[in-house]
Structure 1
Amino acid sequence: MPHQYIKKILTSRVYEAAVETPLDEAPNLSGKLKNRVLLKREDLQPVFSFKIRGAYNKLANLTDDERARGVICASAGNHAQGLAMAASLMGVKATIVMPKPTPDIKVNAVKARGGKAVLHGDTFDEALAYALRQVEEKGYVFIHPYDDPYTIAGQGTIGMEILRQESGPINAIFIPVGGGGLAAGIAVYIKYLRPEIRIIAVESEESACLKAAMEAGERVVLPQVGIFADGIAVAQIGEHTFELCRQYVDEFITVSTDEICAAIKDIFDDTRSITEPAGATALAGLKKYVAREGIEGETLIAIDSGANMNFSRLRYVAERTDLGEKSEALLAVKLPERPGSFRQFCMTLGKRNVTEFNYRYADASTAHVFAGISIGKNGQGKDELLRDLQDNGFEVVDLSDDEMAKLHIRYMIGGQAREITNEVLYRFEFPERPGALLRFLNKFGQRYNVSMFHYRNHGAADGRVLVGMQVEPGEREALLKSMDELGYPYWEVTDNLAYKLFLR
C-alpha cells in the first residue's frame, strides 16, 4: 500500500493551485525550547490552509464525465474554501452546503472563490445529509474532506516538500489531526523515505478521535466534540486515514484549549501572523513533547496548517494564553475582613505581578478574592506562591485548571445570593443561531426561576452558557427530561468549588 500512495503523491497536480510553502525557522521558540523549531507555513496558501492541495488533486483525478456533473461537499471551514477555489480553477460547478449559523466571513469566502454556497440546517450533520441527498437527486460528485486516497495524496505533498527543504537530521514532525488526511499523507511519505523521523499526531483534548480509535483498536465515534479548534473538530477518524495513521504514526499527543492559545501567540511572536486554533495545535504538541522528553539541540517541525481565524475569537485566545503558557495562576484566596489584610496579601506576593483581582464584600469576617498572579515560565513559581500565601495565614485554592472558573466565574464576581434556595447549576453549549436562547427560555423560563445566567460570544459555532435555576428536589427528574428534549449538550456543575466560594 505505501507504494500506491508514494506514486500518487509524486504525481499529484497540486501546484496548479497550491504553492510550495516555506519551512521557516522560529527563532524565539527555538531559543525558548533549546531546539531548532521549524514551522511549515501552510497558512500561506491561497486559501490560507493546506486543504487546497487535497481538494485540487481529487478534482484533477475525476473523469471528464464526473467533472461535468459538478461537485458538492458539506463544510463550514477550510475544505469549503479549498474546493470552491479548486473547482473555479478547473471550470467545475461546485456547490458548498454550509449550516445556517456559519459566519458570513466563511460564506462570503466561498462565494468569492467561485463556489455556490447553500445554507441548510442548523448543524453540520443536517448540512451533510442535505449534500448527500443532492448527490442522489442531481448526480453531483461528493468530495470528501479527508477520507479519499487522492485527497490524502494531495496533502502528502507537504511531506515531499519538507524533505526537500530540510535535508539534515529531523527528530520529529508534529501534525494536527481531525479526520486524519493531513497526518496520513505526510506520514506515509516520510516513513517511506526517512523512517527514523518520528511522526507525532496532535489532537485537541476536545476532539481526540484518533486517540480513541487507537486505544479501541478500531474507529469509534466520539459522543461529543468540542468546537474551539473547529478545523479539527471531527467525531470519527476516516477509514483510509485510520489505516495509514495506525501503520505510520509513531504516537499521538493531546493538547488543551489553553495550550493551543499559547501556541497561537508563539507563532505570532515569531511570524507576526495569526493562525487558527487547528493551525497551532501541532506546535502545542511539539512544546508538550519537548517538556516531556527534555530534549535539546534537535530539529523539530510543526505543521502550521491554516490561518482562517474569526477575528472575534482573538479576545478569548488572548485571555487564555497566559494560562496555556502556565505563566499565570488563578487563585481563590480567603482574606480576613479587617483593615490591612489586602495590603498584607500584596506584600506576600512581593514582586509578582497581579494580572486580575476580583473582590466584593460578603460578610463581616472573611472575603473571598479571585486573583490572577504572574508566576514565570512553565508554572515553575506556582508552588512557591502557594506556599508563601499559606505560610502567611491565607487559605488558598488553585483554580488554574477549573474550566468553569476560567470561562464564567471570573466574569461574575459580585457577591453571593444568600436568599436563593434550591439552586442547581448547569453548563450548556448553545448553537450560535437565532432563537437558541428563546428556545431555552420557552422550555424552562415559565416553570423554573432562572437565578443566574452568563454567556459570552467567542466567535465559535457554539456558545458557552452557565445557567442557575431554582428547582425543588421533587422536580429534578422532570428538569433532566426537559434538558434531554432540548438537545443542547449540558453538564451539572452545582458542586463546583469556584461557584461555592464566589456565587452561592
Structure 2
Amino acid sequence: MTDFETAARRATAQMRQVFDATPLQRNDYLSDKFDANIWLKREDLSPVRSYKIRGAFNAMRKQRALNPDQRNFVCASAGNHAQGFAYMCKSFEVRGEIFMPITTPQQKIDKTRAFGGENVKIRLTGDYFDQTLAAAQAHCAETGAHFLAPFDDVDVIEGQASVAVEILDGLEHAPDLVVLPVGGGGLSAGVTKFMSLTAPSTAFRYAEPAGGASLAAALASGAPTTLPHVDNFVDGAAVARIGNHTFAELSGVKPDHVLSAPEDRICTTIIELLNVEGIVLEPAGALVLDVMDELRPLVKGKTVVCVTSGGNFDFERLPEVKERAMRYAGRKKYLILRMPQRPGALREFLDLLGPNDDIARFEYLKKSARNFGTVLIGIETEDAATFDDLFEKMEIAGFEHRDITNDPVLSEFLI
C-alpha cells in the first residue's frame, strides 16, 4: 500500500469520530434511464451538505498534529468551504476567522455562523473574491494564523480522497466508471489518485461548468491557466484557475474525458432530480448528473458512481432555476415585438397564440414611431416546437419581432 493510500484510509477512519460516512445509494430511476447500474455518492447529505468538510477536517487535523499550539485558522470562502471550515473549528475547539465577500447572501452567512458558533468570526470584505482572498492571506501574515485553502493543498486533497475510500468499501467490486465534478480540483484529484492506485481498472469522466472550465483550459495549455471570465451561477465549482497541486494529479487526464455542462442545462437537471427523486442539489452538485446523457453509450450495462458533491441550494433561487431550465428546453422565449399602434392590434396578436401558450411578461418599452410601439414579451409553452408555428403566423400577419432569449446583452438589461 502506498503512502497516499495509507494516509487517505487513516484520514477516513479519523473522520468517523466526527461524522458518519455519506450514503452510497443505487438510484433506480437513473439506472433505468441509462440502462446501467447507477450509484450516487451522496455528499449532499454530509453534516454541511457538501464534501468540503472532509478536506477541512484533514488539513486542520494534520496542522494540529504538526503544531499543537496552533489554535488560529483562517479561510476565505462564500460557500461550502466556509461551512466545512466552521464545522471543524467547532469540532476541534479552535478559533477560526472566515473572510467572505461583502456581497455574500445573508443566508450563507447565517448558516456558516450556525455551524461554527462562538468558535468562528466572520469578516465581510471585498466586492470580489480575489479581494477577499488577499485580505485573508494578509491577515495570516500579520497574525501567524494558519490559512486553510479550499482545494490547492495536499492535505485537503488527501482528505477528499476519503470519498474514494468509502466508495470502494461500499461496493462489492470496483466501479467501471466514476463521474466527478471539477471546480478547483480538490475532490477530483483526491478521488482520482486514490482509485488509480487501488482500482486501476476504474475509468473516470469529469464534469465542469461551461462558464468555469478551468481543468479544460489547463489541459489545453499544459499548466493552470486563469480564465478571463467566469460565470458564477455554479458557485460551488465556478473557479477561474485550477490549483497547482490539484492539476499535478489531473494533468494526465485526456481532454475528451472532461465534459462541459452549460449552466442553463444544469437547471433542467436540478429540476428533474427535485421533481422525480426529491433530491435537492445545488448547481455544482448536479454537474455529474447533467453530463450523463453524453455518457449514455459509455455507461450502458456498467456500474457507475456519480458523486453528487453538494446540496446547499437556496430555494430563493428556484424561480431563476426554473426560468433558465425552461429557456434551455426552448419552452420559454423573450421577444422584442413591433406592435402596430391601432385598435385591435393586440387582439390580433393574442389570437395567434395556441391553447397551451401563456404570456409570462408583457411590457411596453417605448413608442418607436408614430404608428408602432416596442413591446417586450415573454411567452411560455408546453412544447418548444410550438414556437416555429407561432413565428410563422407572426410573419404572415406582419408582426415584426426579434428573439432575444439567448442574447446576453439584451437579456441582461431587459429580462
TM over 0.5: yes
Counterpart-to-counterpart distance in 2, 1:374 and 1:67: 62
Partner of 2:362: 358
Distance apart, 1:146 and its partner CA? 0.7
More deviation, 60-69/252-261: 60-69
| CA spacing shift, 1:319–1:183, aligned 2, 3 Å | same
Partner of 2:323: 319
Report the AA paired with residue 113 of structure 2: K
| CA spacing shift, 1:382–1:253, aligned 2, 3 Å | farther
Partner SS for 1:277: coil
Distance apart, 1:242 and its partner CA? 0.6
Matches within 5 A, 1:109-258: 109-112=111-114, 113-114=116-117, 115-122=119-126, 123-167=128-172, 170=175, 172-248=177-253, 251-258=257-264
Partner of 2:269: 263
Counterpart-to-counterpart distance in 1, 2:413 and 2:267: 18
Verify the 8 A CA contact 1:174 1:285 in the aligned structure 2.
no
Partner SS for 2:67: helix
Partner of 1:417: none
Partner of 2:8: 9
Verify the 8 A CA contact 1:332 1:371 in the aligned structure 2.
no
Quick check: 1:374 aligned with 2:375? no
| CA spacing shift, 1:105–1:353, aligned 2, 3 Å | same
Verify the 8 A CA contact 1:230 1:277 in the aligned structure 2.
yes
Quick check: 1:275 aligned with 2:276? no
Partner of 1:44: 45
Quick check: 1:400 aligned with 2:405? yes
Counterpart-to-counterpart distance in 1, 2:170 and 2:260: 28
Counterpart-to-counterpart distance in 2, 1:173 and 1:187: 9
Counterpart-to-counterpart distance in 1, 2:258 and 2:289: 13
Partner SS for 1:231: coil
Verify the 8 A CA contact 2:361 2:376 in the aligned structure 1.
yes
Partner of 2:61: 60
Identity of aligned residues (%): 31
Report the AA paired with residue 87 of structure 1: C
Verify the 8 A CA contact 2:152 2:243 in the aligned structure 1.
yes
Counterpart-to-counterpart distance in 2, 1:270 and 1:42: 19
Counterpart-to-counterpart distance in 2, 1:380 and 1:218: 44
More deviation, 344-353/191-200: 344-353
Distance apart, 1:397 and its partner CA? 4.2
C-alpha distance after superposition, 1:292-318 (max 9, x if no partner): x59755554432211223343223222
Distance apart, 1:14 and its partner CA? 2.6
| CA spacing shift, 1:366–1:93, aligned 2, 3 Å | closer
| CA spacing shift, 1:349–1:171, aligned 2, 3 Å | farther
More deviation, 256-265/359-368: 359-368
| CA spacing shift, 1:169–1:93, aligned 2, 3 Å | closer
Report the AA paired with residue 78 of structure 1: N
Report the AA paired with residue 315 of structure 1: P
C-alpha distance after superposition, 1:160-205 (max 9, x if no partner): 3233434468554332211100111122233334445442222222
Counterpart-to-counterpart distance in 2, 1:34 and 1:388: 42
Unaligned runs of 5+ residues in structure 2 are none
Report the AA paired with residue 227 of structure 2: L
TM score, norm. by length of structure 2: 0.83
Counterpart-to-counterpart distance in 1, 2:176 and 2:338: 48
| CA spacing shift, 1:375–1:216, aligned 2, 3 Å | farther
Counterpart-to-counterpart distance in 2, 1:19 and 1:201: 26
Counterpart-to-counterpart distance in 2, 1:298 and 1:387: 46
Distance apart, 1:370 and its partner CA? 2.5
Partner of 1:284: 290
| CA spacing shift, 1:391–1:6, aligned 2, 3 Å | farther
Counterpart-to-counterpart distance in 2, 1:406 and 1:34: 39
Counterpart-to-counterpart distance in 2, 1:357 and 1:177: 37
Partner SS for 2:227: coil
Report the AA paired with residue 23 of structure 1: L
Report the AA paired with residue 206 of structure 2: A
Verify the 8 A CA contact 1:155 1:182 in the aligned structure 2.
yes
C-alpha distance after superposition, 1:415-445 (max 9, x if no partner): xxxxxxxxxxxxxxxxxxxxxxxxxxxxxxx
Counterpart-to-counterpart distance in 1, 2:22 and 2:243: 26
Verify the 8 A CA contact 2:181 2:188 in the aligned structure 1.
yes
Partner SS for 1:221: coil
Counterpart-to-counterpart distance in 2, 1:403 and 1:28: 35
Distance apart, 1:97 and its partner CA? 2.3
C-alpha distance after superposition, 1:216-243 (max 9, x if no partner): 1111112232222222222211111112
Partner of 1:74: 76
Partner of 1:19: 20
> How many residue pairs get matched?
405
Report the AA paired with residue 168 of structure 2: L
| CA spacing shift, 1:287–1:63, aligned 2, 3 Å | same
C-alpha distance after superposition, 1:440-473 (max 9, x if no partner): xxxxxxxxxxxxxxxxxxxxxxxxxxxxxxxxxx
More deviation, 363-372/181-190: 363-372
Partner of 1:95: 97
Counterpart-to-counterpart distance in 2, 1:176 and 1:327: 28
More deviation, 118-127/391-400: 391-400
Partner SS for 1:247: coil
Counterpart-to-counterpart distance in 1, 2:196 and 2:315: 37
Partner of 1:304: 308
Unaligned runs of 5+ residues in structure 1 are 411-504
Verify the 8 A CA contact 1:258 1:323 in the aligned structure 2.
yes
Partner SS for 2:266: helix
TM score, norm. by length of structure 1: 0.70
More deviation, 79-88/310-319: 310-319
Verify the 8 A CA contact 1:286 1:300 in the aligned structure 2.
no
| CA spacing shift, 1:365–1:99, aligned 2, 3 Å | closer
